[in-house]
Structure 1
């Protein structure tokens, strides 16, 4: 990035002084991020309009210095072979959480934060593009697409996370596919993105075709974390789409958000046949399993009594390139006679 633009970033940072002040000048949500200015030294891109959280955003240059925040978003970026564009990443507590073939791809990329985004650290990386999502890295009053736009930094928001800002009809595995295709358009690698997405759509079609005749749909409880109150997935989180594709039903599909709190009373009353344990390392998956098995009030729940558990990595249960693979594994557990594993 040119020195004068970096100075402009830092002057803007000093002007804003604090993240709270920065948020005050930012317009809410994605709605004001309608264009991205042309920067010196950028590769030209035929202007293309991409819908981001329901609002049109024009991209007319290929990002050269990208930052990605969120393990599943990092996997999307690496699946598209965009690692050479990365100048930093965040939201990855341990690089060993990535699939083994992806780990070396981040070897020379700075880890900016294992937790939330930090504005000063982000600006030090001199990015011209940030890919994240609401509640993944973007948060009102902190770093948002609008505040980045004030700094001259383009961004793209994970589609599933837009429910935190705008109303949506439903969540779908197509959300992940569309994000991959949109990244392909932004970075000028449309053919590469289409090849990846077409392969995944074909795999998903194999699963749903095999399950077309299913009439009994097992009930599934997604357990992310929590002891007194369980964190689970409502009807706008990616596991909802995966459970539906696996010919099952989410017991909390009446919760009108994505990842949120449920309650144990409803778990008992709705009596799930299966429990999906999300491995986010807090605590270990076996620790969560043992906790559920030891909770006396759950003893008569079918999934507990029959010990019907399916494990998913956090990056499998959130939008990313491993959603279809995890859907197949879930479908096989629920309908082993119809869906086989490779």
Structure 2
């Protein structure tokens, strides 16, 4: 079978069937979930085809990636959170590795940084990539690098779930989207147990938070400020911060915009008068620069959030889908509802 055939839509049904057979065999119902596989069985499992849902479509992955490329700092963090640095042929979209958690900085040391050339087919082919993980508007762009374009060269890919809104309608965004991405990566790289353990731990934290905030009222209004002076860039109802704000017991001021990362307007910010402002630190300018900008605007001086200096700072990788979403959500919840969610 040619390398790109796995992405041929006419063959997906057959490959999906093979994947289901493989999953059934791997489950080996008589074997305990934590029991180690014999060496021969482990090798077979690594080479058995699996499927994952990519923007609502079943995609087959016949082999575990060995030379992967991740583009986008939050996306790189997902790969590192699963301990897959040894499978990276390169990464992109990380302007400053110092913004990564210290442990991840060490993991990424020695992995080639492909950012200087941008995300393009020539760079990916030069890196001999066999798999690319990114998202629409993170690295994938129509007419440039797309999953279909990669498939022409036999390169597999996975698309960040949150970004699928750029290609078709979605009902909502959820923190469980990140869990789904982590579990899908676990299947694709054949490290399911590792991914499941990470997701279980974070899901437990999210469940505990839900219990703490049960029937909470009132739910403070939160303005997400990403960037912009004349027009604020913010989070609509399909961006991850919308799900984070809701899970933290708040309401997204621009949750009525049916988009993900989008443009809002200062008129609505002023009229709706947010209780809190979440500032995304993406170095343009630094987070404190954004806070100082907000404090210096006469037309914003009357806002409850500005008068009370009620700001929560999030790193860019915390505000975009990644392994730090739940911890960041807890931090927002502690600010909004300190009586319910005390500091650790």
Normalised by the length of structure 2, the TM-score is 0.87
Partner of 1:231: 233
Instruction: Quote the RMSD (CA, aligned, Å).
Output: 2.1
Partner of 2:35: none
Partner of 2:244: 242
Distance in 2 (CA, whole Å) between partners of 1:95 and 1:43 is 34
Number of matched pairs: 312
Q: Secondary structure at the match of 2:280?
A: strand
Structure 1: gaps of 5 or more residues: 10-29, 37-41
- Is residue 135 of structure 2 the alignment partner of residue 126 of structure 1? no
Partner of 1:272: 274
Partner of 1:194: 196
Partner of 1:218: 220
Q: Secondary structure at the match of 1:73?
A: helix
Report how far residue 299 of structure 1 moved: 1.1
- Is residue 249 of structure 2 the alignment partner of residue 251 of structure 1? no
Contact 1:91 1:114 in 2 (8 A): no
Report how far residue 32 of structure 1 moved: 5.7
Report how far residue 82 of structure 1 moved: 0.4
Contact 1:33 1:145 in 2 (8 A): no
Distance in 2 (CA, whole Å) between partners of 1:116 and 1:210 is 44
Distance in 2 (CA, whole Å) between partners of 1:208 and 1:190 is 26
Report how far residue 47 of structure 1 moved: 2.3
Normalised by the length of structure 1, the TM-score is 0.87
Q: Residues 78-133 of structure 1: CA distance to partner in whole angstroms, max 9, x if unpaired? A: 00000000010000001101001110111110000158413222211000000000
Partner of 1:281: 283
Structure 2: gaps of 5 or more residues: 16-43
Q: Secondary structure at the match of 1:312?
A: strand
Contact 2:51 2:59 in 1 (8 A): yes
User: For the structure 1 residues 82 and 34, does the alpha-carbon distance in structure 2 shift closer, same or farther, using more than 3 Å as the test?
Assistant: farther
Partner of 1:15: none
User: For the structure 1 residues 311 and 33, does the alpha-carbon distance in structure 2 shift closer, same or farther, using more than 3 Å as the test?
Assistant: farther
User: For the structure 1 residues 52 and 177, does the alpha-carbon distance in structure 2 shift closer, same or farther, using more than 3 Å as the test?
Assistant: same
Contact 1:292 1:298 in 2 (8 A): yes
Partner of 1:162: 164
